[in-house]
Amino acid sequence: MGRMAPERKAVCLLSGGLDSATCLAIARSEGFEVHALTLAYGQRHATEVDQARVVARALGAKSHRVVGLDLRAIGGSSLTSDLPVLKDRVDDGTIPQTYVPARNTVFLGLALGLAEVVEATDLFVGVNAVDYSGYPDCRPAFLQAFERLAALATRAGVEGARFRVHAPLVHLSKAQIIRRGISLGVDYGLTHSCYDPVPDGGACGRCDSCRLRRRGFTEAGVPDPTRYAVLGP
């Protein structure tokens, strides 16, 4: 028998949340050897970083790096400063306080650096423009622009490599994401989405992320494994 072709390599940004876990599972299902990258960026809690480690192991990442950087030094977001996380917020189309200035630009830049090191040209990111349309760095135009930047800003790109940013969830609703993940065997009980968990680690149930998550499970017709402190509106 001939030798099996090696798996293509990819870098996947992994926050420990529902979307990024699904994204990693999709990358694995497409035959990629996945190198997961988690950023401990000074966010309000370390729970999601801990869960990212669990998710990376469960979903078969080839490697998993946790890189620390302190975006609290910049602030400007309720996730990286003492600004309160708004609860029971009505979506009025404005960019919410949970937007972290330039976060996905920074994160994808680090993922691009890792891709050069592991000799990958595919980057996976779990951004979504349906539920998070207010975030400018979750939009397809941003991802396309980053691909162009990658070609110009790296040695591999200058030497002819073509980097591709995969955002398989970008046009899916939360319910569709959950259904896709379930079909790929994702255990969502391992993930964490809450922006502002209660002291015992439970999800607050009232921040934007909790409400989107809970609604997604309801619309998908799938039991929600999350332990919410409060069931918000």
Domain count, the chain: 1
| pLDDT score recorded for residue 46 | 81
Q: Hunting for tokens 């918000």 — which residue is that?
A: 232
pLDDT digits (tens, 9 = 90+) for 208-231: 999 999 999 999 999 999 999 977
Reported confidence tier of residue 176, pLDDT bands at 50, 70, 90: very high
pLDDT digits (tens, 9 = 90+) for 104-147: 999 999 999 999 999 999 999 999 987 655 788 988 999 999 99
| pLDDT score recorded for residue 207 | 93
Cβ contact 143:127 at 8 Å = yes
Residue 161, in any domain of the structure = yes
Q: Hunting for tokens 């255990």 — which residue is that?
A: 187
Residue 199, in any domain of the structure = no
Tell me, what CATH number does 74's domain have? 3.40.50.620
* Tokens matching residue 33: 């050897």
Reported confidence tier of residue 3, pLDDT bands at 50, 70, 90: low
Residue 92, in any domain of the structure = no
Phi and psi for 200 in degrees, rounded to 5? -85, 10
| pLDDT score recorded for residue 99 | 87
Residue 182: strand, helix, or coil: helix
Residue 146, in any domain of the structure = yes
Closest CA to 111 of 152, 160, 150: 150
pLDDT digits (tens, 9 = 90+) for 195-209: 999 888 889 999 999
Residue 169, in any domain of the structure = yes
Residue 188, in any domain of the structure = yes
SS3 content of the chain, % helix, strand, coil (to 5): 40, 10, 50
Radius of gyration of the chain (CA): 17
pLDDT digits (tens, 9 = 90+) for 49-104: 999 999 999 999 999 999 999 999 999 999 989 888 888 888 777 888 888 999 99
Residue 158, in any domain of the structure = yes
Q: In what order do the strands lie in the sheet containing 122-124?
A: 63-68, 32-40, 8-13, 122-124, 164-166
Find the domain containing 77 and state its range: 8-82+97-193
pLDDT digits (tens, 9 = 90+) for 24-33: 999 999 999 9
* Tokens matching residue 29: 């299902």
Question: Which secondary structure element, helix H or strand E, spans residue 62, and what is its range?
Answer: none
CA–CA separation, 222 and 199 (whole Å): 27
pTM of the model: 0.93
Reported confidence tier of residue 1, pLDDT bands at 50, 70, 90: very low
